[in-house]
Amino acid sequence: LHLWTSGYLKSWKIPYTISLQVLAAGTVLWLHADVGKSSLLLRFADNSFSGSYITTIGVDFKIRTVDIDGERVKLQIWDTAGQERFRTITSTYYRNTHGVIIVYDVTNPDSFVNVKRWLNEITQNCDNVCKILVGNKNDDPSKKQVESHDAIRFGESVGVRVFETSAKENINVEEMFMAFTHMVLRAKKQSQIRADRGGRDETVDINLQKHRERKKKGKKCC
């Protein structure tokens, strides 16, 4: 998730642009595991759903503008192919980002097992990044194989929040994206506050150093 401010966007009353990376945790080597990440993107951006399998070739993205705490935020939601043959493309696109959504399929336990691999890879490419786990296809209890309490326990162990959604039935999709956008904005603002405080502290240190140097010079003159 890449977040930055742009001067020209302010003239449009959109002070923030956020780029969300959506990765499929269910992809192993050359095999496709349809966890529904592209369907989540389609549901959130266009409020539509396709029953057929959507294959992402390389990188795709959608754009939607939302209101967060009275601020207009432009979301660029990147749908990156998780297959090993597209690994280079994926790695390139989540460098210098501020947040990543990792999607697994609650009806496919193998996709959940693969989550840890993706978390490790994200840490290697962009350590200081907001990230969440999303269990999609959560609309049929009889097919659910990744239980909520297991996913939450794992999320707590790695410090990552867990959401469960259904792109098909439009369950918790809006709430998930909005909550994550709020998380990224908060992290960005806190980072900016720390940076601003650091700048002021550095200025004070420099001034104090100069003051000490002047005092030393004054003593020598006496």
Return the closest-CA partner of residue 111 out of 2, 210, 28.
Answer: 28
Residue 139 CB neighbour total at 10 angstroms: 17
Residue 108, pLDDT > 50, answer: yes
CA dist 166 and 177 (Å) reads 13
Residue 178, pLDDT > 80, answer: yes
> Across residues 111-139, what is the average pLDDT?
86
Query: 144-171 pLDDT, tens per residue?
Result: 999 999 999 999 999 999 999 999 999 9
CA dist 124 and 144 (Å) reads 31
pLDDT the model gives residue 106: 96
> Across residues 112-130, what is the average pLDDT?
82
User: Average pLDDT over the chain, rounded to whole?
Assistant: 74
* Range in 39-48, 98-107, 150-159, 199-208 the model is least confident about: 199-208
Q: Taking the model in full, what pTM does it have?
A: 0.73
pLDDT the model gives residue 205: 44
Q: Which two tokens stand for residue 47?
A: 């409020």
pLDDT the model gives residue 8: 33
| Structure-token match 């009353």, residue found | 13
130-136 and 161-164 beta bridge pairing: parallel
> Across residues 113-133, what is the average pLDDT?
83
| Structure-token match 């990188």, residue found | 59
Within a 13 Å sphere around the CA of 132, how many CA atoms are in the beta-carbon half?
Answer: 23
Q: Which residue has the higher pLDDT, 205 or 78?
A: 78
Specify whether the CB–CB gap between 132 and 154 falls below 8 A.
Answer: no
Specify whether the CB–CB gap between 135 and 165 falls below 8 A.
Answer: yes
pLDDT band at 53 (very low <50, low <70, confident <90, very high): low
pLDDT the model gives residue 18: 67
**Who contacts 191 (Cβ-Cβ below 8 Å, separation ≥6)?**
none
Residue 93, pLDDT > 50, answer: yes
Specify whether the CB–CB gap between 129 and 159 falls below 8 A.
Answer: no
Query: 188-200 pLDDT, tens per residue?
Result: 788 778 777 875 5
pLDDT the model gives residue 202: 42
Residue 55, pLDDT > 50, answer: yes
Would you mind telling me the total number of residues written for the chain in this entry? Answer: 222
pLDDT the model gives residue 95: 62
Residue 27, pLDDT > 50, answer: no
